[in-house]
Chain A
């Protein structure tokens, strides 16, 4: 078990194994996203209340899922880095942060676009949108803190601590914002409060969510690989690799 973890922690080994894993995730992501979006955008019947505008759910919900999952994975990677000093975990955390911030932004933006036909405005201080906005600030904080340190190691450890502090706070923030929302604004229209979603709307959403996750894993593997090459550029195996490839 421990030997396995330390093997996984070695950048060289990770570079090899990720090269074999990555294509599968790319294929899965491409297939799932293609089928999911064509099914969801063309073949799913329109919603009886929202018409075709509901189809933005196929981008909005997967992005929102991923925005939260990426923060948790980032914090876990930070914990692994802090406890076992596994450098690959920190490299993964470093490349995940901008991706998570981008997903949060996509969720916010698609929420705003969705708000136009349903609420008649780009922005409402809706509990979900507000929590998403705060999540975006948390991501920006982690990215900024990592960049602020002159030494990369200090920046990595500081960002790991902040990610862990953030991940403990996310549920607290989420529940307090929900509570605040129910107190201040009666929900005029709830998008996700619907009890049951018909199968033909739900199935493409599932495909899209899985597709987004595969895309995230593939992209994280790819970016971690280039981060390995960048940080380990002084190592012999990286230089040998650079000489091999024309």
Chain B
């Protein structure tokens, strides 16, 4: 008995603190706190989003009618690029200070912990982008009726973007200059979300049903939630050990 007791000891120390729920909440709280302390990282994608949207009327034409027809695509492409920019920092700081290694060593399943990290990323990148989009839509002459759909589609779609993007971020976090490579890996995978996201807004503009688009965005999200955490976890293990 006594010999097995010494073996069991580390486990019994971990167990009271180590339920999955506790660990998930701790990760969520930690990442949220960290991100909120680095406000500029939260603000930068939003400023980028607004700036890119400002460039289009200057490059195309200030004609509101023309802008309104291309607005769904512009808003989605700009939001997609803003998400892409924010991805590089998703695991970078944790990788550099070694806390990512601790996460890998933790007894909780890595896929679940990673999901918590992605949720924080979405809360502070995708959701603010979605909330800000109607303002920019207004500036592009998007009719008021489509604003709610734009927001909904962006909120749903950006969650998939965060999940899929995190795979790319996890694969490139160990590389010194992974930025361009990251966009090369991730952008092709973003295309379905872009098509259905922009399609939802377009459908709202035309007055046809948007339910199908939103449903497909939801389906893409469900698929991403189911599969992406495993890929992210595998990718992180490669990056940390490599």
Whether the Cβ atoms of A176 and B238 lie closer than 8 Å is no
A40-87 interface with B by 8 A CB criterion:
82
Once the chains bind, are B174 and A162 in contact (CB under 8 Å)?
no
**Is A1 part of the contact surface with B, judged by Cβ < 8 Å?**
no
Q: Please, how many angstroms separate the alpha-carbon atoms of A173 and B188 in the complex?
A: 8
Chain B residues, Cβ within 8 Å of A176: 191-192, 195-196
Instruction: Check A157 against B238 for contact (C-beta < 8 Å).
Output: yes
Residue of B nearest to A159 (CB): B171
- Interface residue A172 (Cβ < 8 Å from any Cβ of B): yes
| Distance in angstroms between the alpha carbons of A77 and B189 in the assembled complex | 21
Which of A146-154, A188-196, A218-226 forms contacts with chain B? A146-154
A8-16, A22-30, A163-171: which lies at the interface: A163-171
8 Å CB contact of B171 from A137, A158, A168, A183 = A158
Q: Tell me whether B238 and A144 are in contact (CB under 8 A).
A: no
User: 8 Å CB contacts to A: which residues of B167-204?
Assistant: 167, 171-172, 174-175, 178, 181, 184-185, 187-189, 191-192, 195-196, 199
Q: Indicate whether A203 reaches chain B with its CB closer than 8 angstroms.
A: no
Known contacts: A144-B184, A161-B231, A172-B220. The answer to whether A177 contacts B191 by CB under 8 A is: yes
* Contact indicator A145/B189 (Cβ below 8 Å): no
Chain A interface size range: 20 to 34
Number of residues from B at the complex interface, CB < 8 A: 27
The 8 A CB mask of B60-82 against A (1 = contact, 0 = none) is 00000000000000000000000
* Beta-carbon contact of A164 and B175 below 8 Å: no
Shortest Cβ gap from B98 to chain A (Å): 18
Contact A161 B238, CB 8 Å, known A141-B184, A154-B174, A168-B227: yes
Contact of A148 with B178 at beta-carbon distance under 8 Å, contacts A138-B188, A165-B231 already known: yes
B227: chain A residues at CB < 8 Å are 168
In the assembly, what is the distance between CA of A137 and CA of B195, in Å?
17
Q: Complex: how many Å from CA A140 to CA B183?
A: 12
A180 located at the interface, meaning its Cβ lies under 8 Å from any Cβ of chain B in the complex: yes
B23 at the interface (CB under 8 A from A): no
Residues of A within 8 Å of B199, CB to CB, are 180, 183
Once the chains bind, are A162 and B191 in contact (CB under 8 Å)?
A: no
Q: Which residue of B lies closest to A154 (CB)?
A: B242
Query: B4 at the A/B interface (Cβ < 8 Å)?
Result: no
**Which chain A residue lies CB-closest to B187?**
A137
Interface string of B215-242 (1 = CB under 8 A from A): 0000010010001000100110011011
Distance A176 CA – B196 CA, assembled complex (angstroms): 8
- Closest A residue to B183 by CB, please name it: A141
Q: Shortest Cβ distance from A18 into chain B, in angstroms?
A: 28
Instruction: Evaluate whether A154 and B188 lie within 8 angstroms (CB atoms) in the complex, with A148-B178, A148-B181 already known.
Output: no
A173/B191 in contact, CB under 8 A: yes
25 residue pairs from A and B, CB less than 8 Å apart: A82-B234, A134-B191, A137-B187, A138-B188, A144-B181, A144-B185, A148-B175, A148-B178, A149-B242, A150-B242, A151-B242, A154-B239, A154-B241, A154-B242, A155-B242, A157-B242, A158-B239, A158-B242, A161-B171, A165-B231, A169-B192, A173-B189, A173-B192, A176-B195, A177-B195
A166-B188, A172-B220 are known contacts; what are 15 more A-B pairs with Cβ within 8 Å?
A141-B188, A144-B184, A145-B172, A149-B175, A158-B238, A161-B171, A161-B234, A161-B235, A161-B238, A162-B185, A166-B189, A169-B189, A173-B191, A176-B191, A180-B195
